[in-house]
Structure 1
Amino acid sequence: MPTPARGARPTYRPLALAAVAAVLAVPVATAPSEAVHAPPRTGFESAAGAHWTGAAEERSLLAAVDRHSDRVSVERIGTTKQGRPLRLVRIGGRAPATLTVLLVCGQHGDEPGGREACLTTIRDLGHSTGPRTRAFLSRTEILVLPTANPDGLAAGTRGNSDGMDINRDHIALRTAEARALAAVVRDHEPDVIVDLHEYAATPPYYEKDLYVLWPRNPNTDGRLHEESRLLSEQWVRPAERDAGFSSGHYGIWTDPVTGEPVSQEAGDGQERILRNTAGIKHAVALLAESRTDPLSDAERADPALGRRRRVSTQLAALEGLFRYADERRDRIRAATAGSRAAGFTGRGPVYLGGADNEPAAPDRILADPPCGYRLTADGFAAVGDELALHGVVSRPDGDGVYVSMRQSARKLIPLLLDERATFHLVNGQPDTAC
């Protein structure tokens, strides 16, 4: 695939610059055709990065944007164990041919940089009067889960109020937060899912401003895998470079002299992580991780400087994302539609392990997958709600239930029901009499 022309300007360049300027608390000139109404401001912006946006400030911001713009709507999609709302913001088009992009922000409560970028983006997309922005939103629906872990954010913890890591729960769906997100993915069928996180550096091997990674799970359709890598390598990472930031591949330590990989410390293909679940569920997907550690004595002396830098790196990534979505929308939609349709053909292996850079062991490959799985009545009663949230279709079968593999969720089903799968929900009985 050709690399985007270096001389071309991103569709959202003036809008992104305005957003970054708001975060950095410095003025920037925008083209008249792309004017952005700045108010309301996030709590983070108002404090110039001295503190993160609070829950009440977020609620006020979202309500104000909702009132201001008929292209924005805010709905409550769930409630945490401690009673905090999980909100989904919808911005832009509703037409059948619309490309849908989902941003998931702050799954880990102690990683607020991506959340701030999402709140700023909601405000800017809702308030922009530019014709390019309006045109983009007429053919693109942006879904944003601005605070995916409200209880963790309130406590400053990675996990939710039960101490569970939401980003390890996208198969079992034990948490209210992961269940709400699964319903969004099922009901809206996003074409692109971007998961915004932060990380702690390990100098000198692992210290880029932003790390990114695509779905590594081998059950990801090849077309989606290619698109996800293109999003990373030809749009997001160049956007980081153009904004003056460094980038790399999440989980890969590199030699500080040669730049060559020396080890992999994270970023595997396990299916329960959102970046991988999203690929299995037919979306182009990307993980974006900004660096939390101070980069200089100035940032150590004034933490607000580091916070603003963290948010700016995420905004640059979103700039690349939106440009990608607009320029490759037809190819993206073809890839996601092809992935969904492939489940009905019933061909090809299903992998219970491995990654795109780590072949699955032979005993972790279902080379000739079953026709489906039978569940007892008790087994279905234990997991029926989770199957429904995953969008898996089942039918009555004697005293139990039958789950056919001939559906769009074909490559997900064994991960849920096969006793050999690492994170399976229940032991289904494979049906090999096709």
Structure 2
Amino acid sequence: MPIAPTGGGRRPPRRGRVRNLALAAASAALTVPLLTVPSDAARTTAPRTGFELSGGARWTTQAEEASLLAALARRGDRVSVRRIGTTAQGRPLRLVRLGSTEPDALTVLLVCGQHGDEPAAREACLSTVRDLAHATDARTRAFLARTEVLVVPTANPDGLAAGTRGNGDGVDVNRDHIALRSAEARALAGVLRDHEPDVIEDLHEYGATVPYYDKDLLVLWPRNPNTDERLHDEAHDLAVDRVRPAALDAGFSTGVYGVWTDPDTGRPVRRTAGDGQERILRNVAGLKHAVVLLVESRTDALSAEERADPALNDRRRVASQLVALKALFRYADERRAGIAAATAHSRAAGSDDAGPVVLGGADDEAPAPGDTLTDPPCGYRLTKEQFARVRDELALHAVTSRPDGDGVYVPLRQPARKLIPLLLDGRAAYHLTNGQPDTAC
């Protein structure tokens, strides 16, 4: 398949320099600031994660997480923590909110650890929540005054407890954002519907494939071809022009997720992941009008020092995630007007009810013949029985319908226009039900 240029700005530093700087960053990983350095007083009074208390020798337990979040929630109206769901094994799914509650505030959502065996992302989120809650500097306070920050610190508690990619039922949560069969995906869908985040970072980790796929930090944007062009460009620029240069400046090598790169020429060889399928959070969130960033830190030990000291490896992983978060916040603060315009344009485009809808492909891969609805239907009719099976999922996807005889009618003229055929057209790969297209527009 054709591979689009990966971009990425400047030429990466020499490998030795990258490793030396990465090791230095890892040793300081527990104090990486977000916007500016927290005050000494804030550091003294702020609770610490289990990862920090152990010097990176172990991951924060879920009991420690609960204690930390409870302590932060006692700070008053600056932080709130609420339960947004319960896993199959009875563990809570929590949403942390910090910052502004004004209706015109920019909303940033962090989704941390959808895969239970990728714990560094979660650690970065927990320390980020703490640092924002205890920040005293003027710049961070100003950022929070005009920004709502939402964090799901542990998006897969059962998988984390078991050390598995999937949840307690073996479901890959990050492949469940269309069907919404899992409690974890349903909780996240509810957050997207109720809070309508403008910017989302989805934090993950990956194992390297040397020598083609072995960067310290990988990034990606929504590749689904139905993503609004302005949103796509904002997300691409965030990944390529903001996060990658920030990672390079911090001494981390970077690349594009899912793309193998020739180590001698630096040119892309093939794409092995990171496609446009709509059931992945990165893609469905783009269809729900958000600027989305995927970040993946590398789990493999990178040096003899890391092999001898696993804690050094873990601190490097968390440090790279924190660098990406810092770049994301600065982007959100500096580009808030452009972001708001892009998200508003995406929502309005659905109500305009114009243009094709694509059932396959990606931003760098043409759809298969027959996968483009050049003249999409006006809507889809569902029988009473069909609607009973999918009504909850449609509601979580913010899809509206109206009564139609013994069933319901789902019009395309609404903000979810580009998503609806992916949910209800029998030709879509992950459709919920086979609705009857209405072509008598």
Partners of 1:251 and 1:379 in 2: how far apart? 36
Distance 1:317 1:22, change over 3 A: closer
Provide the rounded CA distance (Å) in 1 between the counterparts of 2:436 and 2:347.
24
- Alignment size in residue pairs: 418
Q: Deviations over 1:372-428 (max 9, x none)?
A: 000000000000000000000011100000000000000000000000000000010
Partner secondary structure for residue 218 of structure 2:
strand
Match of 1:342 in 2: 349
For residue 169 of structure 1, the aligned residue among 166, 172, 176 is 176
Matched with 2:114 is 107
Structure 2: runs of 5 or more not aligned? 1-8, 11-23
**Closer, same or farther in 2 for the Cα pair 1:35/1:243, shift >3 Å?**
farther
CA, structure 1 residues 244+267, in 2 after alignment: closer, same or farther (shift >3 Å)?
A: same
Paired residue type of 1:311: V
Structure 1 residue ranges (4+ consecutive) displaced by more than 3 angstroms after TM superposition: 17-22, 29-38
- Supply the AA of the counterpart residue of 1:393: T
TM-score with structure 1 length normalisation? 0.93
1:298-313 matches, within 5 Å, as 298-313=305-320
Residues 335-369 of structure 1, C-alpha deviations (whole Å, 9 max, x = no match): 00110011011100000000000011230000000
Aligned counterpart in structure 1 of residue 248 of structure 2, from 241, 258, 269 = 241
TM-score w.r.t. the length of structure 2 is: 0.92
Q: Which residue is 1:9 aligned to?
A: none
Contact 2:412 2:420 in 1 (8 A): yes
Aligned-pair distance for 1:68? 2.5
Q: Tell me the residue number matched to 1:41.
A: 48
Residue identity opposite 2:170 in structure 1 = G
Give a deviation string over 1:191-243, Cα, whole Å, max 9, x none: 01110000000111111000000000001000000000110111111111111
SS at match of 2:409: strand
Match of 2:188 among 168, 181, 185: 181
Shift of 1:19: 11
- Cα deviation for residue 21 of structure 1 reads 3.8
Map 1:59-74; keep pairs closer than 5 Å. 59-74=66-81
Q: Post-superposition shift, 1:70? A: 2.8
State the shift of 1:65 in Å: 1.1
Q: 1:196-345 maps to which residues of 2 (within 5 A)? A: 196-345=203-352
Whether the 8 Å CA contact 1:235–1:320 is kept in 2: the answer is yes
Q: Deviations over 1:58-117 (max 9, x none)?
A: 001111111135311000000000000000000100111100000000000000011000
- For the 8 Å contact 1:101–1:191, the answer to whether it is kept is yes
Task: Judge which range, 161-170 or 237-246, deviates more.
Answer: 237-246
Does residue 387 in structure 1 map to residue 415 in structure 2?
no
Cα deviation digits, residues 135-193 of structure 1 (max 9, x gap)? 00010011000000000000000000000000000000000000000000000000011
Amino acid at match of 2:336: R
- Greater RCO, CA 8 A, separation 6+: 2
In 2, distance between residues paired with 1:37 and 1:168? 41
Picking from 416, 431, 434, the partner of 1:427 is 434
* Distance across 2 between alignment mates of 1:84 and 1:228: 33
Letter in 1 for 2:367: A
Identity of aligned residues (%): 71
Deviations 1:278-321 (A, max 9, x none): 11110000110000000011111110000000000000000100
Whole-Å Cα distance in 2 between the matches of residues 211 and 25 of structure 1? 19
Distance (whole Å) between structure 2 residues aligned to residue 139 and residue 33 of structure 1: 25
Amino acid at match of 1:363: G
SS at match of 2:370: helix
Which runs of structure 2 are paired with 1:59-138 in the superposition (5 Å)?
59-138=66-145
Q: CA RMSD in A?
A: 2.1
Kept in 2, the 8 Å contact 1:18–1:36? The answer is no
The CA distance in 2 between the partners of 1:232 and 1:154, in whole Å, is: 31
What is the rounded CA distance, in whole Å, between the counterparts of 2:211 and 2:58 in structure 1? 29
**Most deviating of 97-106 and 355-364:** 355-364
- How far off its partner does 1:33 sit? 11
- Rounded to whole Å, the distance in 2 between the matches of 1:256 and 1:181 is 37
Alpha-carbon distance between aligned partners in 1 of 2:69 and 2:262, rounded to the nearest angstrom: 44
Q: Is the 8 A contact 1:33 1:129 kept in 2?
A: no
| Alpha-carbon distance, 1:24 to partner | 6.5
Instruction: Tell me, in whole angstroms, the C-alpha distance in 2 between the residues paired with 1:132 and 1:24.
Output: 17
Q: Give the letter aligned to residue 148 of structure 1.
A: A
**Alpha-carbon spacing, 1:31–1:277, altered in 2? closer, same or farther (3 Å):** closer
Q: Which amino acid aligns with 1:153?
A: L
